[in-house]
Structure 1
Amino acid sequence: MNPVDTTNRIDELDYLRGFGLLGIILINIVFLLSANMPAPNTPDAVYWKFLYLFVEGRFYTIFSFLFGVGFYLFISRANAKGKNGTIFFLRRLLVMFSFGLLHSMYHPGEALSVYAVCGLLILPLYKLKKELNLVIGLILLFAFSWVAIKPLLPIALILLGLTAGQYRLFENIVEKRKQLNWFTSIFFLFTVIALYYQAKQAPLPSREGSLELYWFYHVGIMIGPIISAFYVGLLLVLLQIPIMKKLLTPLKYYGRMALTNYIFQTVFILIANSLLGLYGQLTFLQTLIICFGINIIQLAFSMIWLHYFRFGPLEWIWRMAIYLKVPPLWKKDTAKCQNSIQ
């Protein structure tokens, strides 16, 4: 096995996490505030269709996959430093489950506790050969996607993320530009075909509970991993363009504080509901406006916070619980520690 880089953070993963957060809130707010189903042939109906074609089941899968990549990197880097990566990872899962349990009291559809359980189930596969994990992951993904069992999809996606880590797909991406372009082009074609098929199944949004609506949602879950793969490839391609990478920089900071921002998306939504009484009163387009405001606040806050601090607030607490010691939070404190060592 090739040596694992134990020092450098893979920025592309942070960009992808930040991108995922932008999409996840668009769906979560609809359920948290029980947005009203739109009337047919209205701008609200157009946005409803956009959500279920381009967002629902697309960003959740990206996050599941990225959790798997982080799973591999965390254990491998800990092992490379001479530590027991498995023990640290079990603590990581325990803390994640605890955060998720608390979060689920206010957001029943939250993902952290699901990821923690899936991570525990997949942990024994960490030492398997990457080729075997790839085969198992693809079989599970095909099976769970075909029957559209959304709660089971993270198992396959996390395993495929772990496999991507084993293949070191996200390391030295610049050197894999040609393969990345081919991957993105192929999945673009698959995405066009998949979305065309799902769009043809779209019923009138007001027909809640109908068989047609159920099948529309079912197809959306089935094709979700295809579209998610295209999104990942497209963003990685854009990051190879210097001007685009600079323009998308806020996503990197947003993604570095993914835990904090994910939970505080819920906090902001619930505060807005508490102050304004929004539950059951909003249209789909009005939820988009609220999401836009929350994302702007969080993007700006993440950039400012990480200018002064090494970790997000909840990430810092998470690290304390994992390593059973208080890591330096202020960047200036880290510099002092390094200077004293030198």
Structure 2
Amino acid sequence: MTYQRIDELDFVRGFALLGILLMNAIALLQLPLPDAGTGSEEYQRLLYLLVEARFFSMFSFLFGVGFYLFIMRARDKGRNGYLLFLIRIAVLLGFGYLHSIYHPGEVLMNYAICGLLLLPFYKVNRWVNLSIGVVLLGVFAVFGAKALMPFPFMLLGVAAGQLHLFQRIQERRRMFEIASVVLVAVAAAALQYQYGLAPSEPFVPIIMEGTGDPQLEQSNHYLKAGLLIGPLVAFAYMALLLLLLQIKLIRKLLDPMRAMGRMALTNYIGQTVLVLVAGQWLGLEGLASWMEVLWLCLGIYLFQLIASSIWLHYFAMGPLEWLWRAATYLRWPPVFNRQRLGIGEVAAKSIL
């Protein structure tokens, strides 16, 4: 099988970047707790219902899929996929280190370490990878071990790559549609259950055991429930998006999300830069309301959608993707988009 670029992966990456931005902005701007009885209070509640532990999970899963496809493409070209991947994650580790100077909670260094752990699983049977990933994910979710959850998501991504899951959506479309509807319905019920545990007041978004404080215990239950159902909700989000992409009009309207996903590394680090710069210029750090930061994030995301579409109309890949590829293969990749595939024109029309 020839492994071509899969547009659906880029759509999901572009979508995941929205949730990652919403969560990262809260930490980057060091927001105080929202005031009780305000829109910011409800936004905090919904953020930890609909976003927390959902979008980073999607990104981790896609990293696993990308890991498998990268090595397979290298093998198809007669190259040493293991060596190239080791170089690739070494460069990613460097990006992560530089990024961590400004964003201590960044994930790229963790992804690089998890990438090393993934290497032995490349040739493991797909069903074994799937089983190990499900078991580890279940154990980590039950114990609230959020920091350990990216690895099993990546392992599930490897299994998805081995199963050619994304390539076979059209081939088994009816089965996919039924499974997606069931998954979304179950996830909606799980979210309703978690929302029933929501604290009645603004809460510190950290799980703190043994405090004896009823308000803290309530927020603990809410946050733990979010981690427990997180994998289910993350996969439901992906399934719903992929389901919507089967509709031509929606696929065309969402095309800028594909461009954004093709530049995921550039946009992920770019979000940190934009949030910090906006926070400095607008005096938001430690002072802004949660709702103000929501509008800031939506503005940044819209800007990145447009900028990514325009950039890829003229250039072959994002600037950081270009550096990453050059350092991995030790040669200069193409700079300009000579074929002009029309990504920018379609995206601009769908936005305007």
TM-score of the aligned structures, taking structure 1 as reference length: 0.94
Alignment correspondent of 1:9: 5
Residue identity matched to 1:190? V
Q: Give the counterpart of 1:39 among 32, 35, 53.
A: 35
Indicate conservation of the 8 Å contact 1:309/1:330, yes or no. Answer: yes
- Alpha-carbon distance between aligned partners in 2 of 1:282 and 1:56, rounded to the nearest angstrom: 20
Alignment correspondent of 2:235: 229
Alignment correspondent of 2:345: none
**Are residues 1:98 and 2:94 paired?**
yes
Indicate conservation of the 8 Å contact 1:328/1:334, yes or no. Answer: no
Indicate conservation of the 8 Å contact 1:37/1:205, yes or no. Answer: no
Alignment correspondent of 2:262: 256
Alignment correspondent of 1:289: 295
Which secondary structure does the structure 1 equivalent of 2:144 belong to?
coil
- Alpha-carbon distance between aligned partners in 1 of 2:103 and 2:46, rounded to the nearest angstrom: 23
**Are residues 1:200 and 2:196 paired?**
yes
Structural mapping, 1:117-196, within 5 Å: 117-196=113-192
- Alpha-carbon distance between aligned partners in 2 of 1:45 and 1:289, rounded to the nearest angstrom: 15
Alignment correspondent of 1:115: 111
Residue identity matched to 2:123? K
Shift of 1:189: 2.4
Shift of 1:201: 1.2
Indicate conservation of the 8 Å contact 1:138/1:160, yes or no. Answer: yes
Indicate conservation of the 8 Å contact 1:92/1:318, yes or no. Answer: yes
Change (3 A) 1:89 1:50: same
- Alpha-carbon distance between aligned partners in 2 of 1:175 and 1:87, rounded to the nearest angstrom: 34
Which secondary structure does the structure 1 equivalent of 2:71 belong to?
helix
Shift of 1:218: 1.5
Q: Give the counterpart of 2:332 among 323, 326, 329.
A: 326
- Alpha-carbon distance between aligned partners in 2 of 1:150 and 1:133, rounded to the nearest angstrom: 20
Shift of 1:271: 0.7
Shift of 1:120: 0.5
- Alpha-carbon distance between aligned partners in 1 of 2:65 and 2:158, rounded to the nearest angstrom: 5
Residue identity matched to 2:200? L
Which secondary structure does the structure 2 equivalent of 1:94 belong to?
helix
Residue identity matched to 1:219? A
Q: Give the counterpart of 1:242 among 244, 248, 260.
A: 248
Shift of 1:11: 0.3
Q: Give per-residue Cα distances to partners, 1:38-87, cap 9 Å, x unaligned.
A: 23332211211111111111100000000000000000110111100000
- Alpha-carbon distance between aligned partners in 2 of 1:26 and 1:234, rounded to the nearest angstrom: 20
Shift of 1:170: 0.6
Structural mapping, 1:37-116, within 5 Å: 37-116=33-112
Indicate conservation of the 8 Å contact 1:38/1:205, yes or no. Answer: no
Change (3 A) 1:234 1:334: closer
Indicate conservation of the 8 Å contact 1:268/1:294, yes or no. Answer: yes
- Alpha-carbon distance between aligned partners in 1 of 2:285 and 2:323, rounded to the nearest angstrom: 32
TM-score of the aligned structures, taking structure 2 as reference length: 0.91
- Alpha-carbon distance between aligned partners in 2 of 1:333 and 1:51, rounded to the nearest angstrom: 41
Which secondary structure does the structure 1 equivalent of 2:53 belong to?
coil
Alignment correspondent of 2:272: 266
Which secondary structure does the structure 2 equivalent of 1:264 belong to?
helix
Q: Percent identity?
A: 47
Indicate conservation of the 8 Å contact 1:71/1:162, yes or no. Answer: yes
Name whichever structure is richer in helix by fraction: 1
Indicate conservation of the 8 Å contact 2:313/2:340, yes or no. Answer: no
- Alpha-carbon distance between aligned partners in 1 of 2:328 and 2:340, rounded to the nearest angstrom: 19
- Alpha-carbon distance between aligned partners in 2 of 1:126 and 1:334, rounded to the nearest angstrom: 35
* Mean CA deviation greater in 188-197 or 25-34: 188-197
CA RMSD of aligned residues (A): 1.5
**Are residues 1:307 and 2:303 paired?**
no
Indicate conservation of the 8 Å contact 2:184/2:239, yes or no. Answer: no
Indicate conservation of the 8 Å contact 2:58/2:238, yes or no. Answer: yes
- Alpha-carbon distance between aligned partners in 1 of 2:56 and 2:179, rounded to the nearest angstrom: 21
Change (3 A) 1:201 1:90: same
Residue segments in structure 1 that go unaligned for 5+ positions in a row: 336-342
* Mean CA deviation greater in 277-286 or 311-320: 277-286
Which secondary structure does the structure 2 equivalent of 1:206 belong to?
coil
Residue identity matched to 2:10? D
* Mean CA deviation greater in 287-296 or 211-220: 211-220
- Alpha-carbon distance between aligned partners in 2 of 1:193 and 1:331, rounded to the nearest angstrom: 45
Q: Give per-residue Cα distances to partners, 1:241-286, cap 9 Å, x unaligned.
A: 0001001001000000000000000000111122222111111110
